[in-house]
Amino acid sequence: MKKAIRIIGIIFLVLIGLALAAAAGLLIRLKIRTGRILTDHSSIFENEKYKEPVYVDGVEVITLDVSCGYACIEMFSAWTGGDLTEEKLYEEYGRVVTSTGGRFCEKMNKRFPGYTTTMHKYLTNTELIDVLYDNLAAGIPIPFEWAAKYGDEWTLHYSLLTGMDIPNNKVTAANPYGYVEEISIDEFLQRTSFEAWENMPLYLKMAFAIGVFEKNTVFTVR
């Protein structure tokens, strides 16, 4: 009996060791992947393509009542002249179904069939800026994922990008926490890469590591 218990104990320890090793491997992979997207973006300030500021008018900021994903869909709907609201979405689904980027993209395509929403994830900094600039130049606001503070607490958050003035180092976003944010490009990239979120809880790091959430992720709408 004692021998059997000892064997079970050894197996248990081995399994724990394997799980820890797997988790460590995933976190190392995430670190490498994050490093690849944090490219030097200083060239954008000298690029003639970006010399003209691009802004989308008519986006009304709301204060979320249900979820940031639903709130962004509501803001986009209002911008298109629609009347879709967070409450209508929650009433229909009975829960929040836009917590992950893939599901958010799916709902954008369902709710706005006149547009095609495409999810782009783990873009390099320069790729991210280029994609955002082109979509804004086409006159359409862009949903995106980033780290945002609610009070003193960091959160994973959706917002709508409405403007970019690269020569003046400014990005403008409609944040459904109820306000418009104007921040520098450096801060913007720190937050889309989630590098701004110091001391992120381990469970969230693991969620990024296994692909539940993504960094430098935007949703082009054309």
CATH code: domain of residue 168: 3.90.70.10
Contact yes or no for 185/129 (Cβ under 8 A):
yes
Domain count of the chain? 1
pLDDT given at position 30: 86
pLDDT given at position 8: 54
Mean predicted confidence (pLDDT) in 142-170: 97
Closest of 98, 200, 217, 218 to residue 154, by C-alpha: 200
> C-alpha dihedral over 89, 94, 99, 103, to 10 degrees?
-70
Closest of 115, 130, 105 to residue 185, by C-alpha: 130
Q: Which of 31-35, 53-57, 191-195 shows the lowest per-residue confidence on average (mean pLDDT)?
A: 31-35
- Token pair, residue 74, equals 């509501």
Mean predicted confidence (pLDDT) in 136-148: 98
Mean predicted confidence (pLDDT) in 95-110: 97
Closest of 185, 161, 184, 164 to residue 173, by C-alpha: 161
Output the CA–CA distances (angstroms, integers) from residue 115 to 12, 108, 132, in the order listed: 52, 9, 16
pLDDT given at position 220: 98
Mean predicted confidence (pLDDT) in 101-128: 98
pLDDT given at position 83: 96
Please say if the pLDDT value at position 130 is more than 90: yes
Q: Scanning the structure block, which residue is given the tokens 């500021």?
A: 53
pLDDT given at position 160: 98
Q: How confident is the model at residue 27 (pLDDT cuts 50, 70, 90)?
A: confident
Contact yes or no for 50/133 (Cβ under 8 A):
yes
Owning domain of residue 11: 3-221
Mean predicted confidence (pLDDT) in 153-168: 98
Task: Write the Ramachandran bin of 157: left for phi over 0, alpha for psi from -120 to 50, otherwise beta.
Answer: beta
